[in-house]
Amino acid sequence: MRKWTIPFVLFLLCLIFLVPDQGRKIQANAEADSDAPVDPPKVEEKFGAVPNGLSTDSDVAKREAESMSRKTLRASAEKFEFQAEVSRLMDILINSLYSNKDIFLRELISNASDALDKIRFLALTDKEVLGEGDNTKLEIQIKLDKEKKILSIRDRGVGMTKEDLRKNLGTIAKSGTSAFVEKMQTSGDLNLIGQFGVGFYSVYLVADYVEVISKHNDDKQYVWESKADGAFAISEDTWNEPLGRGTEIRLHLRDEAGEYLDELKLKELVKKYSEFINFPINLWASKEVEKEVPADEDESIDEEETSESSSSEEEGEEEDAEKAEDEKKPKTKTVKETTYEWELLNDMKAIWLRSPKEVTDEEYNKFYHSLAKDFSEDKPMAWSHFNAEGDVEFKAVLFIPPKAPHDLYESYYNTKQSNLKLYVRRVFISDEFNELLPKYLNFLMGLVDSDTLPLNVSREMLQQHSSLKTIKKKLIRKALDMIRKLAEEDPDETNDKEKRDVEESSEENEKKGQYAKFWNEFGKSIKLGIIEDATNRNRLAKLLRFETTKSDGKLTSLDQYISRMKSSQKDIFYITGASKEQLEKSPFLERLNKKDYEVILLTDPVDEYLMQYLMDYEDKKFQNVSKEGLKLKDSKTKELKESFKGLTKWWKTTLASDNVEDVKISNRLADTPCVVVTSKYGWSAYMEKIMHSQTLSDASKQAYMRGKRVLEINPRHPIIKALRERVVTDPEDESVKLTAKLIYQTALMESGFDLSDPKDFASHIYSSVKSSLNISPDATVEEEEDEAEEPEVETKADEESASEDSELKDEL
């Protein structure tokens, strides 16, 4: 027992010495740790409360980081395939060498703005849809995560359900997808992507993996994700921060798109493209601020010594007093610290709420590009900014685009399309409100903000509101005044050469040729307006422009035409046809050209419809020179009628089977033997062709609209004189009748009509050729001899020849 006593005592002594020492070490470590700041768990109150995370607790942050870093579709998500056209579009974008990739941000901001507009509109009739707290803040937030290379854009808009995510972002391509792909392949202009409704896919210009987190009031929160590899996935979101309502898009940027992690770059893009978005755009931006922190004692002593050495004897007493006071206060120093806060990027006041005198041309141009989603360098041709006062008060800005939309006249009467945005008391209502402008002015861009229309009513009730008629009337007047002013300011439109020279040498030279450009893009709309809008028909007629036989390829207005009319001319002469070149060679112009009359050349198919509604202008009637009613003075008309009375009567009888109404002496021909004209109110030859080409035309129902055909003969032409002599000699001669029919059929073709029996016409021509070659009319075509068909046998010579050819080819 004793042999264990001594070791046991030594063991106890060791423990006594070791325990206090270890306790002191633990205490020292605890004291040292107490000086260091402790980070308590942070709970965010709203999106973006900290610079590098969107989580509400550490577990969520961990799951979110894992999700972001892997860039793979979640295994539990429901997988879908992109529709073929969408995949095709994405392939173009992913492999695009297009240098301006900046457009992705403007498209996402534009989509976010649309979502905010929708929820604000819904809130007019149901305020509960906005929710409470931060959800009521209708704004767009942009945030960067430089470490993970993630750019996030969030809105508190209407959000998307699971089905919306599937339809809008993948499986159901909008009609604009194929149209945009075709446009891209022909012009290569990616800048127009927003006009086709497929702007979202521009994200793949800069990102290789995209997440769309969205929460709609009627559904749970879901995540849409895709690596642009032909598939996408949708899953219920249980790991991200609850959005409340709205959409957040996370772009996992490519390595070569690192410039978009620069705050200055994002500010520049928002300023350039989205300055006039109607909702606040906030960027989670870093900022360096100066902060007072406690100073070390050694530093404070050095500062005091420096201060003492630089002070003068006279100020010594004052400084001593100040030092005494400073000694009572804790010593501090100023240091720079980086903080994060939301920075508003679009603080520009809405243009339409400002006075037109305060808005610069550059601001109007920027606003147009933002409104039209057209960010090319082309400026709008003109704009009109005005405030309407009276019974109905509203503000409006209208723009004439530099180019016509690609589908402006496709299905013109079957589609409802408006480019005007309607606001009521600064609240966006709709951009599909077709009651503000007539269809023929649907090429105009702009917006209307009314203080008179009610806010919280249905769209159907708004369409029936009495104020809309007044607004529409004033908008039409302002739009037509804007177009008229565009013409008046164009130096090419004036007749005064002196004034033109002055303007060409001034800054107004920019406006030279602007109206001709407008007419080439939108002239058809003005013509359709004359057909549809009887109230403004005369005002629209002043905007018409045509080429004439004297305009040398330039456009002429009706006022300019009238100013050049001969004193004896009572009607405005025009002719319709397929091309200018064809019309200039028309026999209907022969006598008019000789007498130096000017004739308007109409080559657009819509011109035929136009002239059915435009019956007169400034008390001048319109006269189609290819129809009856053309009056040109000829002193010998009566004598000629009497002299050719027998021929005209005989010819009318001969052509009875061809439905010829009459045969008359012509006053419009000079070098051509005869022409076929139609009755004044029937279809012209060109109109008949247009109607026959209609897909659903019914020939039986069109018969009553065909003009009665009248053969007009030139009594001075040698062919007509010779025919008269032959008729006088033997009116029953069949060869003379055949010649008369052949002359009529030729005139029919030259006048622009289609032959009812081309085969008959061809046989008459061949008979005439036979006669001129002294071939007997009874001569027949030599018949081919019948030979028995024998199989071809390849001879030895043929084989040798083929072998030589083969060797020659091998040598070559």
Question: Which segment, 91-95, 195-199, 382-386, is predicted with the most confidence on average?
Answer: 382-386
Q: How many CB atoms lie within 10 A of CB 366?
A: 19
pLDDT band for 587, please (50, 70, 90 cuts).
Answer: very high
Nearest to 266 by CA among 278, 280, 281, 277: 281
* Long-range contacts formed by 72-76: CB under 8 A, 24+ apart: 72/227, 73/225, 73/226, 73/227, 73/231, 73/232, 73/233, 74/223, 74/225, 74/233, 74/235, 76/235
Q: Three-state SS string across 362-428, please?
A: HHHHHHHHHHHCCCCCCCCCEEEEEEECCCCCEEEEEEECCCCCCCCCCCCCCCCCCCEEEEECCEE
Residue 428: pLDDT band by 50, 70, 90 thresholds?
A: confident
- Give the distance, in angstroms, between the CA of residue 546 and the centroid of all CA atoms in the same chain: 27
* Range ranked top by mean pLDDT from 166-170, 688-692, 781-785: 688-692
Section 673-683 average pLDDT: 90
- Answer whether 496's CB lies under 8 Å from 459's CB: no
Rounded CA separation 367/447 (Å)? 11
**Mean pLDDT lowest for which of 146-150, 455-459, 485-489?**
455-459
For residue 220, name the pLDDT band (cuts at 50, 70, 90): very high
Of residues 583 and 637, which shows the higher confidence score? 583
Return the CA Rg of the chain: 43
Span of 371-385, 415-429, 571-585, 692-706 with lowest mean pLDDT: 692-706
Phi, psi (rounded to 5 degrees) for 97: -100, 15
Mean model confidence pLDDT for the chain: 79
**687 pLDDT above the threshold of 50:** yes
pTM reported for the whole predicted model: 0.68
**Bridge partners, 677 (sequence order):** 710
8 A C-beta contact, residue 261 and residue 299: no
139 — phi, psi (to 5°)? -150, 170
User: Given a cut of 80, is residue 463 above it in pLDDT?
Assistant: no
Dig out the tokens for 564 from the structure: 């050049």
What's the CA dihedral at 411, 414, 416, 419 to 10 degrees?
A: 20
Rounded CA-CA distance 92/204 in Å is 10
Residue 547 has pLDDT above 60, yes or no: yes
- In angstroms, the CA 416 to CA 380 distance is 23
Of the candidates 437, 364, 440, the one whose C-alpha atom is nearest the C-alpha of residue 409 is: 440
Residue found under tokens 């529409």: 472
Contacts 24+ apart (CB under 8 A), 508-515: 511/486, 514/381, 514/382, 514/486, 514/489, 514/490, 515/486, 515/487, 515/490, 515/545, 515/555
CA 332 to chain CA centroid, Å, is 61
Confidence band for 134, pLDDT divided at 50, 70 and 90: confident
Greatest CA separation for the chain: 173
What is residue 126's predicted lDDT score, i.e. its pLDDT? 84
At residue 196 the predicted structure's pLDDT band, cuts being 50, 70 and 90, is very low
pLDDT (mean) for 230-248: 89
Which residue in this structure is represented by tokens 């998307």? 160
Place of tokens 């004291």: 31
Has residue 565 got a pLDDT over 80?
A: yes
Q: What's the pLDDT at 704?
A: 66
pLDDT band at 297 (very low <50, low <70, confident <90, very high): low
> Which among 103, 69, 36 is positioned nearest to 270, based on CA atoms?
103
Share of residues in the chain with pLDDT > 70 (%) = 72
Task: Please report the beta strands in 238-280, taking only residues with DSSP state E, as ranges in sequence order.
Answer: 246-253
Query: Which tops the pLDDT comparison, 161 or 659?
Result: 161
What per-residue confidence (pLDDT) applies to 34? 40
Q: In whole angstroms, what is the distance from residue 246 CA to residue 558 CA?
A: 56
Predicted confidence (pLDDT) at residue 36 exceeds the cutoff of 50:
no
Residues 6+ apart with CB under 8 A from 741: 654, 655, 658, 764
Q: What is the DSSP string of 291-333?
A: EEEEPPHHHHHHHHHHHHHH--STTHHHHHHHHHHHHHSPPEE
Residue listed under structure tokens 């070569």: 256
pLDDT band at 466 (very low <50, low <70, confident <90, very high): confident
Q: Which of 595, 599, 600 is nearest to 610 (CA)?
A: 600
For residue 402, give the amino acid letter.
P
Q: By the 8 A CB rule, do 540 and 533 touch?
A: yes
Residue 481: its pLDDT value, please? Answer: 95
Are the CB atoms for 274 and 110 separated by under 8 Å? Answer: yes
DSSP string of 780-799? Answer: -PPPPPP---------HHHH
pLDDT at residue 51 is higher than 60: no
Q: How far apart are CA 162 and CA 168, in angstroms?
A: 10
559 vs 546: CA distance, rounded Å: 11
Identify the weakest region by mean pLDDT among 175-184, 252-261, 304-313: 304-313
pLDDT band (50, 70, 90) for residue 171: low
Query: Is the pLDDT confidence value at 31 over 80?
Result: no
Q: What is the mean pLDDT of residues 705-731?
A: 90
| 95 Cβ contact partners less than 8 Å away, ≥ 6 residues apart | none
Burial class (CB in 10 A: 0-12, 13-18, 19+), 526: buried
> 394 is written with which tokens?
């509203």
Distance CA 437, CA 432 (A): 11
728 or 67, which is more confident? Answer: 728
Closest residue by Cα to residue 648 from 637, 659, 664: 664
Identify the residue whose tokens are 């004598």. 639
Which distant-in-sequence residues (6+ apart) come within 8 Å of 140 by Cβ? 109, 112, 113, 116, 153, 154, 155, 277, 279, 280, 281, 282
pLDDT given at position 392: 86
The residue written with tokens 């007997």 in the block is: 776
Name the residue with tokens 């702007």: 199
- pLDDT for 350-367, tens place per residue? 889 888 998 999 889 988
For residues 602 and 271, the model is more confident at: 602
DSSP letter at 167 equals I
Q: Say if residue 634's pLDDT is above 50.
A: yes
pLDDT of 738-779, one tens digit each? 899 999 999 999 999 988 889 988 988 888 888 888 888 788
- Could you report the per-residue pLDDT of 480-519, keeping only the tens digit for each? 999 999 999 888 776 544 444 544 545 566 778 899 999 9
Q: Is the pLDDT of residue 692 over 70?
A: yes
Exposure on the CB side of residue 592, measured as CA atoms within 13 A:
29
- The pLDDT score that the predictor gives to residue 98 is 53
Backbone φ/ψ region at 561: left (φ over 0), alpha (ψ -120 to 50), beta: alpha
Beta strand 674-678 pairing with 281-294 = unpaired
pLDDT at 406 over 70: yes
**681-704 core/surface letters (b: 16 or more CB in 10 A; e: else):** ebbbbbbbbbbeeeeeeeeeeeee
pLDDT for 30? 42
